[in-house]
Amino acid sequence: MILPQAYFEPKGTSFSTLNRLKVLKRLGHHVDLLTYPLGKDVIVDGVKIFRIPNVLFVKKMKIGPSWIKLLLDFVLIPYAIWILITRKYDVIHSHEEAAFFSALLAKIFSKYHVYDMHSSLPQQLLNFQFTQSRFIVAVFKFLEKVTINSADGIIAICSDLYERVKEIKPDANVYLIENFLDNTTDEDIPNSNPKFLRQKYNLRQEKIVLYAGTFEAYQGLDLLIEAAHQIVRKYNDVHFLLVGGTPNQVLYYHNQVRDRMLSDYFTFTGSVHPNEINRYYELANILVSPRLEGTNTPLKIYAYLRSGRPVVATRHITHTQVLNDGVAILTDINPSSFAQGIIKILENDTIGRKLAHEGTKLANEKYSYSRYVEEMSSLLKALQGKHLH
């Protein structure tokens, strides 16, 4: 398995990779993971981690495309070749842009190639404002198309990506496997119960509106802050708890809140351990996702559904692939509509309880562990019937 990411870090692709490794082990497979030099080793039986040297002396890796990632990817290539020469494998399982060179390596070494498609990389270049160059975007579109056409198996993490694959190759061996598993590690985290957390952040008996996730611009926190400005005019017993973000991002949004004289209504926790996040959900009365851009469903949406709390989210494709009006309040993508969505639940507990019940029901019926294992197993079994390159 080739992962062009810092692993393990509490981010979407890391969680997805960890869950893939755990399920592959359950299905009886042994996996060698080749990845960047950054991150924490999370031990999974049957998995050996290989890391490339930190030739750039990088200490942190930001989310999204970067020139540093591109340079590290060029270091991944010779290490991938060395491992393929010195060890025996049946499958090359590649994530993100590693699929571009893995497609070629699979042909050279006569291995099956599984492309784990977490996003459309040409789209990511634009979403993260990495480049506006039409040429670079066109190159990534070409590489994506070639990879999809050559892959023996493809994992799409949301229906939009699934449809994108089918548009490029109608007969592709593609499986829709959403990242809905429990994103925890095996570490024990003391003092993480809701009562302790309420004392830690000096939370009184206010209604808690909680956001959890990264603080990138596309997540829509500016929209949430503007919506909060409208909500607190009507309800002064509401508190917004924002979980996640780097120190610089937290400082930026803390200043945004201060400038709008909303400091008394907001608490920023910074990044928390994955094992703690469910305790934070238990504090909440409402969970929110004001996402603005992208196509892949945020991992937190699946956790939100399992939490037993009502959800308010923007009516955006990142959400509507999973959420509907029966399990969440879906709003137009503007502060006023988002504020009204939150107010609707604040004003009517019955609506909130019904949405939470239906959300949990959906999670249990459609996004279960057994289904995840079944889909992964089906993908691997399908490879056995394919002829190698």
Question: Which residue ranges make up each domain of the chain?
Answer: 2-180+369-384, 194-366
The yes/no answer on whether domain 2-180+369-384 falls in CATH 3.40.50.2000 is yes
Residue type, 41: D
- From 251, 253, 271, 270, select the one nearest 262 (Cα to Cα): 253
- From 171, 127, 125, 123, select the one nearest 148 (Cα to Cα): 171
Tell me if domain 2-180+369-384 and domain 194-366 are identical in fold: yes
| Cα–Cα distance measured from residue 287 to residue 281, given in angstroms and rounded to the nearest whole number | 8
What is the fold of 194-366? Rossmann fold (3.40.50)
| Cα–Cα distance measured from residue 289 to residue 279, given in angstroms and rounded to the nearest whole number | 18
pTM for the full predicted model:
0.85
Distances (CA, A) of 283 to 64, 168, 297, 330, 352: 30, 44, 24, 22, 15
The tens-digit pLDDT sequence of the chain (389 residues) is: 999 999 998 888 898 999 999 999 999 999 999 999 999 998 899 999 999 999 999 988 888 888 999 999 999 999 999 999 999 999 999 999 999 999 999 999 999 999 999 999 988 887 777 888 889 999 999 999 999 999 999 999 999 999 999 999 999 999 999 988 765 555 555 556 788 898 999 998 789 999 999 999 999 999 999 999 999 999 989 999 999 999 999 999 999 999 999 999 999 999 998 888 999 999 999 999 999 988 889 889 999 999 999 999 999 999 999 999 999 999 999 999 999 999 999 999 999 999 999 999 999 999 988 989 999 999 999 998 776 65
